[in-house]
Chains A and B, each alone.
Chain A
Amino acid sequence: MNQRAPLIIFALVMAAIPFIPGVPPFWIVLLNNIGLAALVAMGLVLLTGVGGLTSFGQAAFCGFGAYTTAVLTTAYGFSPWLTLPLSLLVSGIAAVLLGIVTVRLSGHYLPLGTIAWGIGLFYLFSKLEFLGRNDGISGIPPLSIGSFRMLDPGTIYFAIWVAVLVSALLTMNLLDSRTGRAIRALRRGHIAGEAFGVQTPRAKLLVFIYAAVLAGLSGWLYAHFQRAANPTPFGAQAGIEYLFIAVVGGAGYVWGAVLGAGIVVILKEILQSYLPYIFGGQSQLETIVFGILLVVLLQFAPTGVWPWLMSRLPIKSGRKTPDTSLPLAARERAPASAAVLLQIEKARKQFGGVIAVNDVSFDVRSREIVALIGPNGAGKSTTFNLITGVLTTTGGTISVLGHKVDNAPPQEVVKLGVARTFQHVKLVPDMTVLENVAIGAHLRGFAGAISSMFRLDRADEAKLLAEAARQIERVGLGDQIDQLAGSLSLGQQRIVEIARALCVDPLLLLLDEPAAGLRHMEKQRLAALLRQLRDGGMSVLLVEHDMGFVMDLADRVVVLDFGTKIAEGTPDAIKTNPDVIKAYLGATA
């Protein structure tokens, strides 16, 4: 339980603050504001820092939360507690609608789109009659428990900080789970995750909704704290400020949101109260200083204050080693009689006028290692992408165990038991080896986001991590299991990719240049592993440039040149094939 200790200490300190004699009431107001901002920023941490989706429009979701409760409590006499789920629901529904439109957008479109609808919604709030136009809605009833009404800042303080702590806990639980790994892999692109069955658009929408619901919660609390709602705090400026908070604190860290909110809210307060004394009565000076500080901060600490702080603390987070004895249900194997695992018939891929793969046909049978070789640009990786559904074919058919997969999405292909590695390593560098490998077992777990948040996924999760640990042990990286994937050598990262692919429990393993960057001994160990896998019933299709490695290992070799198959046969036959020699050496032998 020592992982929970800092959280409990923090909660106790926060709970004690209002009872310290002599704490000015104004401090409590500040802490309330910090808590409200931290909730929104926490959503942004998940959305932007972890998921890589930038939103400038979170303030609008606060608006949905605040206005929902404002309208329902003042005009319809609802109890504030009854409006809490409704506020969250309205924010969530708004997020679904906006999310469907925006989350599929790549890179910079998303932030721009969020700025645009952030402003649009702000104007909507300030023009709608039933929301009170620019004046907003006042006279919102306070939160109350029985006859105890939370009228002053010192009492709603508890509601706000309980919300912050519970949200932080749930967010951290979510991140440390099967769904969390899928979310954390989003930032590095979608191909790797999808190759292991992650439904990327769904994962993106999930974090979008999650962030919006946290913002809605903040808005709901805000409305009952201020007892009024008007459009100003939900405008574009506020949306920008929330993102600023997340970046200052450390966009990738849940506690960064709380820290960032503290820094920014207090800094703003200091600037607002002292700058006029220094520079005379000029207004808005704090915006100038604020803007300049932001630019300066980015130049010195683009990752934020929290990681900088953590790297200076002597605390090392202890990690439990997974219990490798927990079994994970194996894939249902097709009857051994299925002789042909992968059948490629006249597969074709054109990019405009370039024919990358030109009517290539070959097959991979069970318990066989087939090597796909050819000079650079021969179409080997493109063939891999066609098989795994990353690219769609222009013509021809590809089938796995009799199922046609030539235009199936990657998530469907992996379900059939085809796992792959990538020529350019696609690991998440700031996740540990264990976590990276566990992504491979994504389809073999069942826990969803909600059960992860409430820690109901632990049995499922333990099995996934046990399987990941077993595969890491199997490829010989047991000593590196808790290191960050980005800290390994490139050769070791390729091996991690193999372990991740093995977590699928595949029938067919596609390896794209697995031996590149390995030393001699490591190559021998890899070859031994692949033979052992084959003898255990798996088939391997590999692309590789190291001829010694290929000829020694493969049962059969297929040679591509300029997208066309020029030879196929046993290693010995290929070695003496005149066409192959010509393709490699460029001259008639």
Chain B
Amino acid sequence: MNTTIMLFLLQDGITNGAIYALLGLALVLVFAVTRVILIPQGEFVTYGALSYAMLATGQVPGTAKLAAAMGVVAFGLDLFDARRSLRLKRVLRAFALNIALPAMILALTYGLAGPKTPIGVNIALSLLIVAAIGLFLYRIAFQPIAHTSVLVLLIASVGCHLALQGLGLVFFGAEGLRGPALSNTALTIGPLRFTGQSLAVYGLTIAFIVALWLFFGFTLMGKALRATAVNRLGARLIGIRTTLSGQIAFLLASLIGAISGILIVPITTLYYDTGFLIGLKGFIAAIIGGLVSYPLTAIAALLVGSVEAFSSFYASNFKEVIVFTLILPVLVLRSLAAPAVEEEKD
């Protein structure tokens, strides 16, 4: 093997790994706050990427309508929950969040979408749409069962994944899409050429890791979110609004997912169902990181990306097999290292 090939593979691996790191971080974030293992994280990626790609061709993506529709359901749920104390202020607040906000996003999308819309606007619109979907997804599917076991949440999560993936096919069709690059600048160091796109991937990943680490380690809100994960009742008793924590976690996760999607859609063609596999590779990183550590997750993601790049070069047929069995030795180590802690379940 020559050094140039190795460097190329490494570069490829790190770029992919950075995306997995972002997703791994989002998964850790959601799990740490809500105990939901967010299988639909991959759908956030494809929704973000494909909405962006469709906007770039001047079309209005169906996701904007989905956000509005989910808002209506969320509004209905809010009204139903508040039926015993239906005060005007409360109704108005629910209306603003669930009806007015997605309606505004939908209107903006229709108003701004066109073949000449600048890239920045398209990115902003895609992010808004997916963030709204993430927020409402928590409200509709997870908030009513937030107190149940990890298993029930996991299965609900699988249900969301199935529904969202099916909707993805309806919105984007079975054909793959590619989006325009964020910037065309490039940088050459030795034999390696760094595109502006890959530099953006590195920069954003590092920024997110640092930001999340600071947020959860050093701010009151971050600590409140972590407290919610450990003990919902206890967190409520000391005045933390657990519902809000869940919403913030899903909002962040959907944003991170959409950003990852927008970052990779200029590099690779994405299909409506690509997100699942990408998300799962993020999972592997998150599991290696023990679902708690952000830096460890990021390092593990880079490892997953590199292993993937090298195995696609040497044994491309078995790329996925190698990547997914990578998890087994890690699990063995984890199970040997972890003390047997008694869990109070149900």
Which A residues fall within an 8 A CB radius of B? 48, 52, 54, 101-102, 104-109, 111-113, 115-117, 119-121, 123-124, 127, 187-191, 236, 240, 243-244, 247, 282-295, 298-299, 302
Contact = CB atoms under 8 A, between A and B. Distances in A.
B246 to A, nearest CB: 15
B321 interface: yes
Interface in B140-170: 140-141, 144-145, 148, 150-152, 154-156, 158-167, 169-170
B152 A302 contact: yes
Contacts of B151: 48, 54, 111
B237 interface: no
Contacts of B200: none
A31 to B, nearest CB: 25
Interface of A is mostly: helix
A291 B163 contact: yes
Nearest to B158: A240
B283 A292 contact: no
A189 B155 contact: no
The 9 nearest A-B residue pairs measured at CB: A291-B163, A294-B159, A291-B162, A120-B324, A288-B166, A287-B166, A123-B320, A104-B335, A295-B159
Contacts of B318: 123-124, 127
Interface string B167-209: 1011000000000000000000000000000000000000000
Contacts of A123: 318, 320-321, 324
A22 B7 CA distance: 69
B35, B162, B332, B345 pick with most chain A CB within 10 angstroms: B162
B85 interface: no
Contacts of A243: 155, 158
Contact of A295 (B37, B150, B163): B163
Contacts of B276: 236
Interface stretch (B118-126, B127-135, B256-264, B336-344): B336-344
B317 interface: yes
Contacts of B287: 109, 112-113, 116
A120 B320 contact: yes
B280 interface: yes
A496 B327 CA distance: 43
B75 interface: no
B344 A189 contact: yes
A188 B342 CA distance: 9
Contact of B154 (A54, A119, A190, A282): A54
A295 B160 contact: yes
A247 B159 CA distance: 12
B37 A112 contact: yes
A497 to B, nearest CB: 16
Contact of A291 (B159, B317, B325): B159
26 contacts: A48-B151, A52-B345, A54-B151, A101-B335, A102-B331, A109-B291, A109-B331, A109-B334, A111-B154, A113-B287, A115-B280, A120-B325, A123-B321, A188-B345, A188-B346, A189-B343, A190-B340, A236-B276, A243-B155, A284-B166, A284-B169, A286-B166, A292-B159, A293-B159, A295-B156, A298-B155
B31 interface: yes
B208 to A, nearest CB: 22
Nearest to B27: A112
Contacts of A105: 331, 334-335
Contacts of A284: 165-166, 169-170
A106 B166 contact: no
B267 interface: no
Which residue among B158, B163, B169, B332 has the maximum number of chain A CB atoms within 10 Å of its CB?
B158
Contacts of B103: none
Contacts of B91: none
A291 B31 contact: no
Contact of B155 (A124, A191, A292, A294): A294
B211 interface: no
B156 A294 contact: yes
Contacts of A115: 280, 283
A498 to B, nearest CB: 21
Contact of A187 (B154, B163, B341, B345): B345
B328 interface: yes
B278 interface: no
B284 interface: yes
